[in-house]
Structure 1
Amino acid sequence: MRTYKAILHDNQIEWLERPPETSGALQVYVTFPEEQDSEISSKRGKLMAEVLAELARRDTFSTIPDPVAWQRELRAERALPDRDV
């Protein structure tokens, strides 16, 4: 079984990517997500805010004198996908 992303408008399916190749009618199974994406994003955002507040409370990054320079160093050290070094 293959999965294709689509949006259901009333009784019409709008494919969000290339639809399956068919000739004629095709039986499909539609599965609805338990939560809407906006609800999930909202929960993730709240959790992220709580985690960041806890990191600030613990003074986690206080030993880093220049956070911008530290972040540049970290980014420079990692290999980027599909790029020769």
Structure 2
Amino acid sequence: MLKTFNAILKNNSIQWLDETPKIELDTSVNVYVTFLEEITINQTKSNGQKMAEALSKISKNNIFANINPQKWQQETRQDRLLPNRD
């Protein structure tokens, strides 16, 4: 016969609220967990609009205007020399 025990699951630990089941601590016991309340997961709200505004401000400042992309790439990548190539 299946018995039901009232408990709270918190941080992957069970806290028994009413009657505590008699279980040997060194054995494994199969259990079924039923959530009585809908679990709400905190979802971070997207700040897409704020991000778009920030990127727009950065693009208006034209901070990369004085950078030579080819020279920057050569300095950043620091490629090794390849045989038979200039």
Scaled to the shorter chain, the TM-score interval is: 0.3 to 0.5
TM-score (norm 1): 0.35
TM-score (norm 2): 0.35
Larger radius of gyration: 2
Give the structure with the higher percent helix.
1
